[in-house]
Structure 1
Amino acid sequence: MVSAEETLPLVIALHRLLRGLRRASGDGATPPTQLIVLGLLTQHGPMRIGELAVRIPCSQPTATAVVATMRQNGLVSRAPDPNDGRGVYVAPTEEGLRTLRSVARGEAEVLAELLATVPPEDRTAVLDAAPVFLALADRTAPSP
């Protein structure tokens, strides 16, 4: 069993690293919640706003406001739920996909530069951990 005390330094380091990558990549235009929405829609396909709220996680009114802003900015589209006339599905637009790829590429370039400064065995360990982190990220988000 791993304790919270043992994982705390990793959590802090990950927060600092991600914030630093974002800052160094120069993309401050796309809010983090919008990037999370685009990532979820890309990974899981179109979703209802309630599903997004659960996966983000945030309240449904917050998810609704985020999606409305994203729609105004051309990042997502909405389509009626064929099984429920009151519901809508949200999907990324081509512009949304381009935005997500651009931000991720910029952060990946910064991370590649940083990894070039550490010993090869450390670089390998970090890169080999990517599938583990992805699996852990998927486990933290409850399925709707």
Structure 2
Amino acid sequence: MEHLVEAARIRRAVVRLNRRLRQERGAGSLSPNQLSVLGRLYRHGPSTPGEIAVAERQCPQSLTRVFAELEAEGLVGRAPDASDRRQSVLSLTEAGRRALEADMAQRDAWLAEAFGALSETERGVLSLAASVMERLGDPE
């Protein structure tokens, strides 16, 4: 039961921090789904729409519009799959990488400033917690 209470506390804290980080994004920023797709391509390289949908736990049809928007904005490229010409492979373009990095930089800047109000020990604890959360959050 103790683990359940602590897990709920950590979840609430992560949700609040995530909400605050979203608030720090500029007007006209990428949508959460667009960020999710670009981030996936950034971390894992070219992928089929189906692979992205599975990884993001969404149905491919719900991401079709997101893929089309990103392609129309030049943030992703689409090419036929070399092993199965019926499928396409999406890849991050240079413009997509820059857009994703700019979005991350806004939030990183806010977080870096917020860290200034913390003690060295608190920053160390958060750094350690980040390593643990990365391990928990990325099962791949």
Same fold per superposition (TM over 0.5): yes
Q: CA deviation at 1:59?
A: 0.8
Where in structure 2 are there 5+ consecutive unaligned residues? none
Q: Indicate the residue corresponding to 1:11 in structure 2.
A: 11
The sequence identity of aligned pairs, in percent, is 36
Rounded to whole Å, the distance in 2 between the matches of 1:42 and 1:109 is 20
Rounded to whole Å, the distance in 1 between the matches of 2:121 and 2:55 is 34
SS of 2:63 mapped into structure 1 = helix
CA contact (8 A) 1:76 1:91 kept: yes
Structure with the higher fraction of residues in strand conformation = 1
Deviations 1:87-110 (A, max 9, x none): 000001111100111111111110
Residues 50-129 of structure 1 aligned to structure 2 (within 5 Å): 50-129=50-129
Question: How many residues align structurally?
Answer: 140
Rounded to whole Å, the distance in 1 between the matches of 2:2 and 2:63 is 33
Q: CA deviation at 1:2?
A: 6.7
SS of 2:51 mapped into structure 1 = helix
Q: CA deviation at 1:69?
A: 1.2
SS of 1:118 mapped into structure 2 = coil
Deviations 1:62-119 (A, max 9, x none): 1222111111111111010011111000001111100111111111110111111122
Residues 30-45 of structure 1 aligned to structure 2 (within 5 Å): 30-45=30-45
In structure 2, the CA distance between the partners of 1:77 and 1:8, relative to structure 1 (3 Å rule), is same
The one-letter amino acid paired with 2:37 is V
